[in-house]
Structure 1
Amino acid sequence: MVDYEVTLFTGDLAFASTFDDIYIKLVGSGESQRTLLPRSWIPSLFKGGVSKCTISCPKSLGKLVLIELQKETMFFNDSWYPAKVDVKSPEGDTYHFPIYHWITDSELHYFREGAALLVFEDKCSVDGYSREQEIKQQQEVYCWGVYEEGIPHCIKADSLQSLPDDIRFSLSKTAELAYTAATGLIELELIGISECTENFTCVENIDRLLCVHQSKTSEYVRQHWKEDDFFGYQYLNGTNPILIRRCEALPDKFPVTNKMVFPDGKHRLADEMKKGNIFLCDYKLLDGVPTNTINGKKQYLTAPLVLLWKTGDKMKPVAIQLKQKPAKDNPVFLPTDSEYDWLMAKIYVRSADFNLFELNTHLLRTHLLAEVFAMSVLRNLPMVHPLYKLLIPHTHYTLNINFLARTRLISRTGVFTKFTASGGEGVFTILKKSLSSLTYSSLCIPEDITERGLKDVPNFYYRDDGLKLWEIIHRFVRGILSFYYKTDAEVQQDSELQSWIQDIFKYGFLSKESTGIPQKFSTVDEMVKFVTVVIFISSAQHSAVNSGQYDFGAWMPNSPTTMQLPPPTKKGTANEKTMLESFPSVDITVNGMAVMWLLSKQSSDHVLIGQYPEEHFSEEEPLQKIRAFQEELQKLSAEIKARNEKVPLPYTYMDPDVVENSVSL
């Protein structure tokens, strides 16, 4: 007889324990007997607990490839969350079986040994299990759904409770999110005015809204929001750093003259464009978007064109046109106009920026894409696949938070519908137009920065930190995947990998070839690049565009969610009174603040980039690559912190110390 020492770890999650009988079988070239794990007076497998047993076999089972687990009900059917199983063989080898899966029934469940295998090198042949069966079962659980035609597909689910257990929030996160959502107005001490539909009568009343919770950034915003320098700065390091691009020729629809922007005659527009000092922000995606009605009042949303001039280390606006088509009732506003003419033009731009940022930059280009990536992983890759092991940590909570976003933010009764100019029909108009204009290169930050002509713009911390993070992630991805894929032919031969990218192209990008998204992988380099995009979007990019929402939006005049008056059609009519009448009403403002507070608040069980509490890899090479990845992230974090000590307004959103592994909020 030979003995196998089995150690089973139950996850440290609420309700992970079970009173049920648990049976285990070891499978190699032979099979062990089905063995009942020993009991004790406490749940046989309790939360965070470790259960050990010895399985004796007549002879060695050879190399272990799989275990079978089965839960049989004793008193009542309860769920159980096993984390992993370690087995020490009589030959002295230790085998690791990652699980991290809720078991809720009495069916047989199969889990592979931790060494990753590609489909064409997998020789495992066991009655009742195959890679194909595992994938088929997953596809029955994770089905594609259509929330709205023309936008990326999502998980099919009728309710929060119908989501698969494995992708739902933990009890602690559910409780925290519910508490923050329910008490946000209370914590901000705004509950008493949350239903006040009156307009603000003075700026001082807006000022009082920030008296309870403010950050260094929100206070800086409150003090500097009127300044041209800060207006330009936000295109680089605010919540929407993907819009600005170098302007080499003015579009015909933006009839700006040299005299308009350089009235002193010391500079020429054509010369400054040749030098690379002129930049354009075009909100054309907002053109023609139907606007909301709130509190019985029609709301307004512009589609501006903004011209900026880089002078020294500053980025300053020099011309603003609030609608796309030039006309007599669509003047070009200039810094030389009256104080309120110019200020109101900037406010309408900031309101437009809020609506475009939330729906395109934030919702579509991080949340919705991350959901597609996650769904394709779960539907097409078995747990033993190296890409599953690499990407599954970057799907953590994504499907749950997106279900909540659809039901509580952008639905017909959602917060976005109630309190923003683009709420309702406008949401889907913007999302559809944004997806149609999206390109693969714009998702790859090195290519995006180059295409937008921003490589030498000073004080562009989103670019600086983002490019460094991209390179660190890219090296990590290449190190992991090149361990498993030695040649381009192996990439081409991997049918599961090809199904993964095909699903993404079909259901995420709706088979639009114009996006440039790959439909298949022919080389290791192509695969590594796309996987880098997946991890970067799910972690760094989401942090960059999500974490600063309250910082930059809490001071409402800097980011109005809507405007209550139409944009000015001529100069000389704006004053403080018209500005206050244009601002969103009190209830719209405070509810918007509460949502931004909720979406910017990190939960206690967050997982930072580079942290892998679930041990999916078992070979030494990928484990070494993970350690090197973590060291590089720590070094970058120290560099960012040192830089931030020397700048007036620290840029923290891509510091690995705050970047989460996945889109989880």
Structure 2
Amino acid sequence: MSPLFNKPKIKGTVVLMPKNVLDFNAITSVASGGVTDNAKNIFDTVTDLAGGAIDSVTSFLGRNISLQLISATQTDASGNGKLGSETYLDSHLPPLPTLGARQDAFSINFEWDAASGIPGAFYIKNFRTDEFFLVSVTLEDIPNYGTLNFVCNSWIYNFNNSGKKKRIFFVNDTYLPSATPAPLLKYRKEELEALRGDGTGKRQEYDRIYDYDLYNDLGDPDGGDPRPILGGSVIYPYPRRVRSGRERTKTDPNSEKPGPIYVPRDENFGHLKSSDFLMYGIKSLSQDVLPLLKSAIFELKVTSSEFSNFDDVRSLYEGGIKLPTDILSKISPLPALKEIFRTDGENFLQFPLPHVIQVKRSEWMTDDEFAREVIAGVNPNIIRLLQEFPPKSSLDPSLYGDQTSTITKEQLEINMGGVTVDEALGAKRLFILDYQDAFIPYLTRINSLPTSKAYATRTILFLKDDGTLKPLAIELSKPHPSGDNLGPVSKVVLPAIDGVDSTIWLLAKAHVIVNDSGYHQLMSHWLNTHAVMEPFAIATNRNLSVLHPVYKLLYPHYRDTININGLARQSLINAGGIIEQSFLPGKYSMEMSSAVYKNWVFTDQALPADLVKRGLAVEDPSAPHGLRLVIEDYPYAVDGLEIWDAIKSWVEEYVSFYYPTDVAVQQDTELQAWWKEAVEKGHADLKDKPWWPKMQTVEDLIKSCSIIIWTASALHAAVNFGQYPYGGYILNRPTLSRRFIPEPGTPEYDEMVTNYQKAYLKTITPKYETLIDLSVIEILSRHASDEIYLGQRDNPNWTTDSKALEAFKRFGSKLAEIEAKISAKNSDPSLRNRIGPVELPYTLLHRSSEEGLTFKGIPNSISI
């Protein structure tokens, strides 16, 4: 028989998912007009059409999808990898046990002989109208080789409607640029150029382009609600976000119009992940549900706008809020909100019981718990050692006067058990939670907002002999009524256990926590994790090929970050968004975070450096992790250092496989371009700071990658997943303060004497804003069912390098050991800061978790 009919074939299996009604964008379009009666049909529609979607897989056959192999070992006349013939899917395979939900497998057979070499990549074209999600491609019976795996995980759009650009995918091998097989060099460069784009035009849904832009889309200048553009100026520096290229506003040609947020298509996985439903829940809450709730409270007056007492607050978890059926009929149980909303005509917005009151109902009010949450709560990395007395300020005195603390030694020593301030300073037993400099420059403007009346706070804490902290004094400062430059008007409040003084002390603690809540949400959480990570994600996709070892190391730690940040700009941090509505800084929220970013230091994000900088640790080679903690029972630091060391050891081992010398780092063209762009474009406003690693040594690379992974995983987990467990009880973590502490001789003071609960509730977050806050932080504190945790990968074939796979397995084993250590520490009664009066074990840095609201779990990335 003629050799023409005997040409060898490579057998292939293509795994994909058709677009169907579960697509995130499809659901968004259903609800985009507001919550209507039709919204309740989403799940019915899914059920009705799921079978049809499965049956439709046969439509993928024929000449709808083509693949074309590219050789990694044989070249064409131009010196590029030899192309095979264009080949189409053959047949739909029976369900495979290894396939995930809704995945379908198809066979394909390529004509390919030994002379064609070993495939290293392939092109794919989609001639179908709808896009589909390409999961993986496996090639078998490759002459002189065996089997090859391609992990794809990418949306493939219609070839003609997306610029007639063929999509390319590479085998899961790992190559430095200089070690890339010569036949693949052109294709490696081609793919990076496609991801960079040309920096022009409005981005389309099908685009996969990563580029930089300013935060110029938070306000609505044409609607009379502008916000400062963040980034690109000395006044308002900021990390960059993904460029979308939307139309500019008429009022301000430098600002983009509000509207749908662009994210590169593969950052929005659509119907594939349940985390998309969580993110959609925030959007639906902001755009649809809260306006109806606001109407019900303030216009229809179906429920009081104020809590009447503490039991009234607790009713949120025991009975919810009752609304008329005509209101309920407009609010449907969307996927991400099904555990919050009930539409059975009985209750609405019945929240789960926050962890902080699950065991002890009232211990949140104690000084011990107040102090414990400073080092084991949701914002545990602000406290610092007090090294001088009285505390001073770094604010410009010509603008803000003398901001030196008015707290005296005598006031502190009342509750120090015979220890003097000087002795405590020398023994490193005094600490400070200081929000003076962060809030004073904005306080005049904040207090001019309709419902805001706040102080800037300083809190001094004392380390007791039993290892726990004790608050000694709270300083409450507000700007001078005749001008900020005259300095603050301050008063000092001391602990008290009975009478009106105990109520004043309780209110002073509330003002501290309001400062802390705002700073936590805007700086500790949003700025220091979400915002600062996006430039690294952009730079990685633009400059590091999927074949690059550092890409393979870092890519899992960017999962969903660009997507959730885009949603935040649309619903959370935008003008009039959820953060501005429910947290103290209001319309000045993002501007305040810009001021804090001025002093952000990349290298200080490493946990050891952070602890040393805050005076909470001293370098000691003989101590575990090379540090001696000043507060030995500091749960965030103790657990965090274990995680930090595990991350750094994994990175060090992995990086050493590919970079044996500093010269190898210096000569890696992609790596150098990546770092240069991350610094000079992604963090352009800080690019001239001397603290940036120069990326000239292996140690520079290890340090930088470790900080990125730590920030995206453990740091974010520590400041995010405790939000509802602690803050879901608004009495414990209020987000707004609406009045100053009443003065003697006023009706408010008299009420404070007789009814401390009413005085407290009239000071802190009211009902509507509480409902906003709780609804959002419950979603933010949840884990999706398909979350991927630190030390895990979504595909075991992420690399073909056996050494890397073995090292990664050791990393996972080490994290499992740390989990066991954390459990043991939480069972040790001598470690009182780990449990506290509320009897809530510190588990925020416990690596693994189940789905839901668990108060533990370290995802690989900032995925919510």
TM over 0.5: yes
CA distance 1:277–1:156, change in 2 (3 Å): same
Question: Which of 818, 835, 846 is the aligned partner of 1:655?
Answer: 846
CA distance 1:59–1:552, change in 2 (3 Å): closer
Alignment-mate amino acid for residue 534 of structure 2: E
Between the aligned partners of 1:340 and 1:43, the Cα distance in structure 2 is: 69
Equivalent residue runs for 1:215-234 within 5 Å: 215-219=354-358, 222-234=361-373
What is the CA-CA distance between 1:53 and the residue it aligns to? 3.8
1:642 maps to 824
Question: Which of 123, 143, 153 is the aligned partner of 1:68?
Answer: 123
1:281 maps to 433
Bigger mean CA offset, 315-324 vs 572-581: 572-581
For the 8 Å contact 1:439–1:516, the answer to whether it is kept is no
- Determine whether 1:28 maps to 2:72: yes
What is the CA-CA distance between 1:532 and the residue it aligns to? 0.7
Q: How many residues align?
A: 659
Bigger mean CA offset, 326-335 vs 484-493: 326-335
Structure 2 residue matching 1:101: 3-state secondary structure: strand
2:551 maps to 388
Question: Which of 134, 147, 153 is the aligned partner of 2:191?
Answer: 134
Structure 2 residue matching 1:392: 3-state secondary structure: helix
Alignment-mate amino acid for residue 781 of structure 2: S
2:172 maps to 114
What are the superposed Cα offsets for residues 46-85 of structure 1, whole Å, 9 maximum, x if unpaired? 9523333443445433343322323334xx3433424233
Alignment-mate amino acid for residue 110 of structure 2: I
CA distance 1:294–1:191, change in 2 (3 Å): farther
- Determine whether 1:427 maps to 2:589: yes
Alignment-mate amino acid for residue 421 of structure 2: L
2:386 maps to 247
- Determine whether 1:103 maps to 2:156: yes
2:493 maps to 333
Between the aligned partners of 2:125 and 2:180, the Cα distance in structure 1 is: 24
CA distance 1:624–1:262, change in 2 (3 Å): same
What are the superposed Cα offsets for residues 232-272 of structure 1, whole Å, 9 maximum, x if unpaired? 11110111111101112122412332321122771101101
CA distance 1:511–1:527, change in 2 (3 Å): farther
CA distance 1:8–1:369, change in 2 (3 Å): farther
Structure-1-length-normalised TM-score? 0.91
2:214 maps to 146
Structure 2 residue matching 1:297: 3-state secondary structure: coil
Between the aligned partners of 1:408 and 1:295, the Cα distance in structure 2 is: 24
Alignment-mate amino acid for residue 265 of structure 2: D
Between the aligned partners of 1:620 and 1:543, the Cα distance in structure 2 is: 30
Taking only the aligned residue pairs, the percentage that are identical comes to: 24
Between the aligned partners of 1:515 and 1:205, the Cα distance in structure 2 is: 51
- Determine whether 1:399 maps to 2:562: yes
Alignment-mate amino acid for residue 473 of structure 2: A
What are the superposed Cα offsets for residues 544-564 of structure 1, whole Å, 9 maximum, x if unpaired? 100011111122122211111
Bigger mean CA offset, 567-576 vs 628-637: 567-576
- Structure 1 segments (4+ residues) deviating >6 Å: 41-46, 183-187, 190-193, 291-296, 324-328, 569-572
Between the aligned partners of 1:208 and 1:510, the Cα distance in structure 2 is: 49
Alignment-mate amino acid for residue 95 of structure 1: L
What is the CA-CA distance between 1:296 and the residue it aligns to? 8.0
Alignment-mate amino acid for residue 166 of structure 1: D
For the 8 Å contact 2:85–2:111, the answer to whether it is kept is no
Structure-2-length-normalised TM-score? 0.71
Question: Which of 581, 584, 592 is the aligned partner of 2:762?
Answer: 581
Between the aligned partners of 2:708 and 2:506, the Cα distance in structure 1 is: 39
Between the aligned partners of 1:132 and 1:41, the Cα distance in structure 2 is: 34
Alignment-mate amino acid for residue 475 of structure 2: Q
- Determine whether 1:208 maps to 2:309: no
CA distance 1:277–1:135, change in 2 (3 Å): same
- Determine whether 1:379 maps to 2:542: yes
Between the aligned partners of 1:304 and 1:611, the Cα distance in structure 2 is: 42
For the 8 Å contact 1:22–1:70, the answer to whether it is kept is yes
Between the aligned partners of 1:339 and 1:299, the Cα distance in structure 2 is: 23
CA distance 1:52–1:545, change in 2 (3 Å): same
What is the CA-CA distance between 1:336 and the residue it aligns to? 4.4
Equivalent residue runs for 1:297-308 within 5 Å: 297-308=450-461
Alignment-mate amino acid for residue 40 of structure 1: S
Bigger mean CA offset, 89-98 vs 629-638: 89-98
For the 8 Å contact 1:307–1:317, the answer to whether it is kept is yes
Question: Which of 595, 605, 612 is the aligned partner of 1:450?
Answer: 612
Equivalent residue runs for 1:132-531 within 5 Å: 132-140=189-197, 141-147=209-215, 148-149=229-230, 150-157=237-244, 158=246, 160=260, 162-171=262-271, 172-179=274-281, 195=298, 198-211=305-318, 212-219=351-358, 222-250=361-389, 251-252=391-392, 253-263=404-414, 266-283=418-435, 284-289=437-442, 297-311=450-464, 312-323=466-477, 329-336=489-496, 338-424=501-587, 426-454=588-616, 455-512=629-686, 517-518=691-692, 520-531=694-705
Structure 2 residue matching 1:234: 3-state secondary structure: helix
2:110 maps to 55
What is the CA-CA distance between 1:192 and the residue it aligns to? 10
Structure 1, gaps ≥5 residues long: none
Between the aligned partners of 1:13 and 1:543, the Cα distance in structure 2 is: 33
Alignment-mate amino acid for residue 163 of structure 1: V
Between the aligned partners of 1:637 and 1:160, the Cα distance in structure 2 is: 41
CA distance 1:545–1:226, change in 2 (3 Å): same
1:594 maps to 775
Bigger mean CA offset, 550-559 vs 152-161: 152-161
Between the aligned partners of 1:221 and 1:145, the Cα distance in structure 2 is: 48
Structure 1 residue matching 2:800: 3-state secondary structure: coil
Between the aligned partners of 2:366 and 2:689, the Cα distance in structure 1 is: 37
Between the aligned partners of 2:191 and 2:744, the Cα distance in structure 1 is: 65
Between the aligned partners of 2:640 and 2:585, the Cα distance in structure 1 is: 29
Between the aligned partners of 2:606 and 2:646, the Cα distance in structure 1 is: 14
Bigger mean CA offset, 93-102 vs 299-308: 93-102
What are the superposed Cα offsets for residues 167-220 of structure 1, whole Å, 9 maximum, x if unpaired? 004324333443576579999xx9997655733332322232232511433435
Alignment-mate amino acid for residue 437 of structure 1: N
Between the aligned partners of 2:211 and 2:361, the Cα distance in structure 1 is: 46
CA distance 1:567–1:144, change in 2 (3 Å): farther
For the 8 Å contact 1:543–1:654, the answer to whether it is kept is yes
Bigger mean CA offset, 194-203 vs 447-456: 194-203
What is the CA-CA distance between 1:469 and the residue it aligns to? 0.7
What are the superposed Cα offsets for residues 335-392 of structure 1, whole Å, 9 maximum, x if unpaired? 1481012111111000010000000000000111221221111111111111111111
2:138 maps to 85
For the 8 Å contact 1:501–1:518, the answer to whether it is kept is no
Between the aligned partners of 2:786 and 2:714, the Cα distance in structure 1 is: 18
What is the CA-CA distance between 1:279 and the residue it aligns to? 0.4
Bigger mean CA offset, 230-239 vs 631-640: 631-640
Between the aligned partners of 2:295 and 2:567, the Cα distance in structure 1 is: 26
Question: Which of 37, 47, 61 is the aligned partner of 2:88?
Answer: 37
Alignment-mate amino acid for residue 226 of structure 1: M
Structure 1 residue matching 2:648: 3-state secondary structure: helix
For the 8 Å contact 2:261–2:570, the answer to whether it is kept is no
Between the aligned partners of 1:379 and 1:388, the Cα distance in structure 2 is: 11
What is the CA-CA distance between 1:579 and the residue it aligns to? 2.7
CA distance 1:83–1:341, change in 2 (3 Å): same
CA distance 1:604–1:126, change in 2 (3 Å): closer
What is the CA-CA distance between 1:540 and the residue it aligns to? 0.8
Alignment-mate amino acid for residue 533 of structure 1: I
Between the aligned partners of 2:311 and 2:367, the Cα distance in structure 1 is: 21
Between the aligned partners of 1:547 and 1:635, the Cα distance in structure 2 is: 21
For the 8 Å contact 1:198–1:586, the answer to whether it is kept is yes
